[in-house]
Structure 1
Amino acid sequence: MFDAFADRAEAGRLLAAALRPLQLEHPVVIALPRGGVPVAAEVARELQAPLDLILVRKIGAPTQPELAVAAIVDGEPPQIVRDATTMAMTGADEAYVQRVAAEEQRENLRRRQAYLHGRAPLPLAGRTAILVDDGIATGTTVRAALAALRQRGPARLVLAVPVAPPDTVAALRGAVDELVCLRQPGFFHAVGVHYADFHQVEDREVVDALDAYR
């Protein structure tokens, strides 16, 4: 039996401790809302780094909305990253992906206004970008975020998460320069079972965390 993280804040402090020996130069910590924000805020605080968000929305399968077939990343223009295998397996065609992507991008735009008041993303050129979430299951959303971040020209791209299944971690290693994952359980059911407190993070908590950090 594993020891659960007390909450996302504890997971963030433990992540920061694991990242510090990497001696990352000019780091920018980037959270995946909403659950990644409390984790990333602790990482940024411990590393004394700027904190930003990357807005990504999962595109779920037609009959299994929790199973991601693609994801859309907010940007100019928005970027869609597809999982061809999952699309084929679930019967999600390109028309379906485009239709749901348009719906999810509206939520990305709402969140950018609500969380950042429309502020543009922080520049990453020449810096170390550290993407943080509270955990990974399939990795489709994270993979989309990493692809978008890489296009912004960071000197190093780092993925830091408290927990993820080993096969997902292995699949993502090639997308980053460094990968830190504190726990990789052989039997992985869901991210939430690895936390004693895994409450639903609402918009207000995201805004409060960003305001408190600033």
Structure 2
Amino acid sequence: MATAFHEFGDRRAAGRALAQALTAYADQADVRVLALPRGGVPVAFEVAEALRAPLDVFVVRKLGVPGHEEYAMGAIAQGRVQVLDDEVVNRLAISGAAIDRVVQAERAELERRELRYRKGRPSLDVSGCRVLLIDDGLATGSTMRAAVRALRLLGPASVVVCSPVASVQAAAQLRHEADEVVCLGTPTHFHAVGAWYVDFSQTTDEEVMELLAWPDRPA
């Protein structure tokens, strides 16, 4: 059901608001917070800090339509998971060769980010844990769907998709993928995630690495 909604100041403010909807997960030893970089990291940082839970990244890359890269035709995630939006691919008659070229390029960027963000550190162990999987917004939901499917391969007890804002369609689709979807707003007229933030400036690699190394991060 669509709800009335007002914009957030920035991603950190959105994270603080989201944390208030997740207080049931505070101080729970089996809870892990995973962020979709880059934009999801400032949001997830505030959630992890409020819940006193471990924080890590879960790297996913959108597959943009050739020539219209801002429009998603799918996504890839760590673990060689790939999700395609068949409706978009078929409607635009995108060839398999064209898809392969986009996947190859995005796979290289995914691997670059994994190496840079982790700096040799292992990823959090999520086996048997309740995972809060966080992004700064969900437009088509394709990136998050890839993340959920990849995360399932690591054996979590449950996957909870969390976002400050989402389109009605993305939220509905993700309820079929995740164990739970927590979203503060699902505006009826959803044009872009950035429209629901006063400050939606790009999150940098440096900011991601700084937040992942926060001094009070739980072990």
Shorter-chain TM band: over 0.9
Match of 1:165 in 2: 167
Deviation at 1:79, TM superposition (A): 1.6
Normalising by structure 2, we get a TM-score of 0.91
Q: 2:85 aligns with which of 83, 86, 89?
A: 83
Q: What are the superposed Cα offsets for residues 47-93 of structure 1, whole Å, 9 maximum, x if unpaired?
A: 11111111111111123211111211123xx2211111111112222
CA contact (8 A) 1:161 1:180 kept: yes
Counterpart amino acid of residue 9 in structure 1 = R
Alpha-carbon distance in structure 2 between the residues aligned to 1:145 and 1:93: 24
Alpha-carbon distance in structure 2 between the residues aligned to 1:130 and 1:95: 35
Alpha-carbon distance in structure 2 between the residues aligned to 1:185 and 1:90: 27
Counterparts of 1:46-61 in structure 2 under 5 Å? Answer: 46-61=50-65
Deviation at 1:25, TM superposition (A): 6.0
Counterpart amino acid of residue 205 in structure 1 = E
Match of 2:12 in 1: 9
Alpha-carbon distance in structure 1 between the residues aligned to 2:22 and 2:113: 28
Counterparts of 1:121-160 in structure 2 under 5 Å? Answer: 121-160=123-162
Q: 1:98 aligns with which of 97, 100, 103?
A: 100
Q: 2:66 aligns with which of 53, 62, 67?
A: 62
Deviation at 1:138, TM superposition (A): 0.5
Deviation at 1:22, TM superposition (A): 5.8
Counterpart amino acid of residue 12 in structure 1 = G
Counterpart amino acid of residue 171 in structure 1 = Q
Deviation at 1:95, TM superposition (A): 2.1
Counterpart amino acid of residue 49 in structure 1 = A
Q: 1:21 aligns with which of 7, 20, 24?
A: 24
Unaligned runs of 5+ in 1: none
Counterpart amino acid of residue 83 in structure 1 = D
Deviation at 1:113, TM superposition (A): 1.6
Alpha-carbon distance in structure 2 between the residues aligned to 1:128 and 1:109: 25
Q: Structure 1 segments of 4 or more deviating over 6 A? A: none
Unaligned runs of 5+ in 2: none
CA contact (8 A) 1:28 1:128 kept: yes
Normalising by structure 1, we get a TM-score of 0.93
Deviation at 1:2, TM superposition (A): 4.1
Please identify which structure carries the higher helix content.
1
Alpha-carbon distance in structure 1 between the residues aligned to 2:74 and 2:21: 30
RMSD: 1.6
Deviates most, 42-51 or 2-11: 2-11
Deviation at 1:31, TM superposition (A): 0.4
Alpha-carbon distance in structure 2 between the residues aligned to 1:72 and 1:172: 16
Counterpart amino acid of residue 43 in structure 2 = V
CA contact (8 A) 2:25 2:31 kept: no
Give aligned-pair identity as a percent.
46
Counterpart amino acid of residue 22 in structure 2 = L
